[in-house]
Every structure is written in C-alpha cells, then in structure tokens.
With several copies, the nearest count.
Chain A
Amino acid sequence: MTSLAVHLPGLPLKNPIMPASGCFGFGREFSQFYDLSKLGAVIMKAATGEARYGNQTPRVAETSAGMLNAIGLQNPGVESIIQTEVPFLANYNTSIIANIAGSTISEYKMVAEKFNQTKDVHALEVNISCPNVKEGGIQFGTDPVMAAKVTEAVKEVSNLPVYVKLSPNVTDITSMASAVASAGADGLSMVNTLTGMKINLSKRKPLLANKTGGLSGPAIKPVALRMINEVKQQVNLPIIGMGGIASAEDVLEFLIAGADAVAVGTANFQNPFICSEIIDQLPVILEQYGYSSIQEVIGKGARI
C-alpha cells in the first residue's frame, strides 16, 4: 500500500490528514466513532489564557455549501486543556497540535509557553485569524507587522514548530505569509474563515447574535486553493491547507495547489467519519490519478 507519510519540519505525520481546529473539540466525541490513532494529527480547539464563554447564541448559521460560525473562542483555558484534554489525546498514537489564541501578545506568549512545557504537544498553530472576537484574533491576522510580532513572541518561548494560521480576509496574503516567515514561523496554516453575514428575514436582523461569523465549508475552497498557491510561489514554508475539504479528491487538489498536509473542518459535522474515510480513500485516489506516492504530489505547487 502507498505510504501516506509526510514530513513537515519538526512534525513527521503518518498521513497528511488532521481535523481542523474548532471542528473536532478535543477529540473526545469523535473517539466514539473511530480510533483517533488513525489520524495524522489532531488540531485542538483554540486555547486562551483563561476559560472563555464565547459569544451569545445563535452561533452558527447554514449557508450555500458552507456555514457561518461565531463561537467566539469558547474554551476551558490553557491550564484545563493541559490537565484534562492533552492527556486524553495522548492516549492515541497521533500528533497533537495546540491551537493558541489571545487578546494580547502576552496572552499568546503565555499560552504558548504553557504548551511548550507539556511533553505531549507536538506543534503549535497560532490562530491570528479568528474573526469572532472583539480583541486580538483577526486584528493580528490582517496586519503584517502585528502578525510578525505575535509570531516572534511565540517563537521566543517555544521549542515546538510554530504554524501561523492565516486569515483569508486580506488584500495580499503573500505579504502576510512573508511577514510571519521572516518572524521565524516554521510553517503556515491556510486558511481560516472568511467573514460573512446572514440575515434572519423574520427578525429583520443578522441571524447570528454576533452579527458576523466565519464562513467555512466547500463554498470557500476556491479561495483557499488560490491563496495557498499564491503563497507557495513566493514563500518557502510548509503549508497545512484547509477550507472546504470533504473528500480525498479535495485533499489532492490542496496538495497539488501547494499544501504539504491538510486539515478537515466543517465536513466533520456532516459526517463524523470523514477524516477516517478520507485516509482510507487517499491511496485509491492517488493511484487513480497516476501517483505512486504522496511525495510525488507534494511540493510542486509553486510550478503548476
């Protein structure tokens, strides 16, 4: 059988498939469906310095081939995650990636530092692109200077590989990527959600309590692919690609466009087995399109 192993700097993965942050909780619910050891990695829900409640409900809305969410980074706080969630995931033979967020650079730094002291976390994904919080989040993700500062701060306190998660809500994604690359990022995660809105016609106002939310799902796939390809041509960093992936064919599209591994988000809600099924399908699809290994697909994105 085709080996699916991919080698990201500091983060070798048995396969390039992982659930995206916020779409898999901390894995507990999905562990009842299949063995999480099958996954290349698990990206945990965002962690902040303290527990957060998040936004008012409704927090999700359905759109054509997509959904809006405005969870607002609800999470039990980094301490609690390290005490109860990381040990649970550590039972499985998979890599653990901690998604970190904050309102200030020092909060990012503090959260990164805590995870760095935990032996079971294998990489950090720095979420500078959450559109659903008033402070931090997307502000860091739309200004190259701020993005670089967050990256530097996290790198300072961390020996783990640092993936910076970029927002697609920008004019020039390559300047964001270059800025975090110069600041020392080990890799990129692309993309987070596009900010969107839906109107509740009966109530004559936005459906989400937060008014706007992040658009995810197949609707955004073309934008994700374009941005990944654009960045791949100019910035020499590995990319964890995401945005609307729902099949092994989608994974292949992302790898050809320039991703080195991928994350699956919203599709987990439609089909909780999706990551497992994609891992099963991937060798079949690779063969169908004439590839003899996953390495043959990866890394050519800059030249397509």
Chain B
Amino acid sequence: MIQKETVTVKSSKTVALNTTELILQNEYLSQSANPGQFIHVYIDGFMLRRPISIADVNKKEQTITILFKQSGKGTEKIASYQPGNMIDVLGPCGNGFPLESTDDKILLIGGGIGVPPLYYFGKKMSETGKEIISILGFQSKKDLFYEQEFQQLGTTYIVTNDGTYGDKGFVTSLFNKLENYDSYYACGPIPMLKAVKKELPNKVGYLSIEERMGCGIGACFACVIPTTDQTGYKKICKDGPVFSAQEVLL
C-alpha cells in the first residue's frame, strides 16, 4: 500500500557523471518495497513530484537506495541533499517486476539511468538461485555505474555508445552473443525498449516504462500507455511501470 512517508538521507554519493546514489532511511518502505517499484519524491518549490525507482533495499538496516541522473532542476536539487535531510515521498508506487517466475536463467537489459531498478530485481532473483546475465548500456565510460554490483550477480556485459568502455554499440548489439536464457527484463529509454522488443519477439520479456506523471498513484490519467488488451490502455504509475512486453504498444 502506498503511504506518505518521510525518509532521511543516510548517505549521498556521486557514482558517475551527474549521477547520484542516495541511501534513505525509512522503515515502512524498506519492509514493503518490491523490485521495480518507485517512490514519488516531493521537492520543495516544485509543483509535481518526481518518480524515482527503488534501486536497492536493505531490510535489516531499514534503508532503500535510489540512483538518479541530474537531468533538470528537480533532480539537481535532490542531488544537493545532505545526510540528515528529510524528504517527503509517496511509496512504494506501482507494480514491479514479476517475482514468481520459474525460469532458471534470466537476462537483465539496462540502458543508462534505466539500470537502477534492475539491480534490486537481479539481487532478489539471484537469492532464489537463478542465473543472471546482465547487459548494461551507457553513453560513455563516464556515465557507467554499478558494474561491480552487477558482476556479483553474474556475467555482466557493458556497452557504451562511444566505445569508451566495454563494447561499442547498443545493448541490442550483444543479443547474438547470448544463448538460452529464459526471459528478459529491460529498463531504459523508449527507443531502447522498442529495439529490445523488436529483436526478441519470441522471448518472454518485461519492460519498465517511463512517462511524465501528474499524481503517480493512478488518479489523473497522465501516464497512460496503449495496450493490446480490451481496455486499450494501462496507467504506468499504477498498473506499471513494469509491463509484459506483449501487453503494451510502444
């Protein structure tokens, strides 16, 4: 259930160019969040809240981790928060990745700032004994983060658009290298998600999708996405942000 919670910044760290990792203390969120869910962050002076994925959870320490890129005035402000600062958030929001899969080997596909939600999901899946392969794509070496964290979960391939690290190219460039995984889980910019869906038409896959949001809780119809089912649409904030690749029209 979504609650309005106050989280306390425990630590703030720059993990890549303009990319910040915040560890946030909050009992309720740490106990209830599922991989792929997000928090809706209030920032003083801004009209709308900002949706940010939950990238990791530590139930024992009662913390959640978020990772975000400074891409505008709001994320710039959150990046300036110091340990001890309190933030008003709604969460956990939305439906995350499916946790009940019986697959043995899964592929994580992350593009840029779409990487974070995959980490907590991968961790959870790894704990249940699944084999994890990850392909993480970044613009450039300076944007790269969490490589080691993903390596601890399993084989991890890095691609950069400019070739400054790992293979040069897009996440899709590596698809022919990979064999017999059972399903994929992708998060990243819409063009990447489109390409992934197109290249892997016969795989079971899940996509985590971004859209500009008003309420973040399903009340305002800002964040709809057309679907193949009879209702014709879903709300990304409430029904998603994770959807089966077959279900949505990108």
Contact = CB atoms under 8 A, between A and B. Distances in A.
B188 interface: no
B248 interface: no
Nearest to A30: B219
A60 to B, nearest CB: 4
A148 B218 CA distance: 34
B13 interface: no
A131 interface: no
A74 B233 CA distance: 10
Contacts of B222: 57, 59-60, 69, 71
B170 to A, nearest CB: 20
A29 B219 contact: yes
Interface stretch (B22-30, B45-53, B103-111, B139-147): B45-53
A217 B233 CA distance: 27
A266 interface: yes
Given A69-B220, A71-B220, A74-B221, A217 B47 contact: yes
B216 interface: yes
Given A269-B214, A273-B4, A25 B42 contact: no
Given A32-B2, A57-B212, A272-B4, A62 B47 contact: yes
A196 interface: no
B234 to A, nearest CB: 12
B154 to A, nearest CB: 35
Contacts of B212: 57-61
Nearest to A65: B47
B96 to A, nearest CB: 18
Contacts of B187: none
A62 B46 CA distance: 8
B232 to A, nearest CB: 6
A283 interface: no
A33 B221 contact: no
Interface in A16-55: 22-25, 28-30, 32-33, 45, 51, 53-54
Interface in A244-268: 266, 268
A269 B224 contact: no
A166 B90 CA distance: 33
B48 A269 contact: yes
B238 interface: yes
Given A54-B224, A59-B212, A272-B4, A29 B47 contact: no
A299 interface: no
B215 interface: yes
5 contacts: A28-B219, A30-B217, A59-B212, A60-B212, A269-B47
Given A53-B232, A60-B213, A61-B212, 5 more contacts: A22-B221, A23-B219, A57-B224, A272-B215, A273-B4
Interface of A: 22-25, 28-30, 32-33, 45, 51, 53-54, 57-63, 65-67, 69, 71, 74-75, 217, 266, 268-273
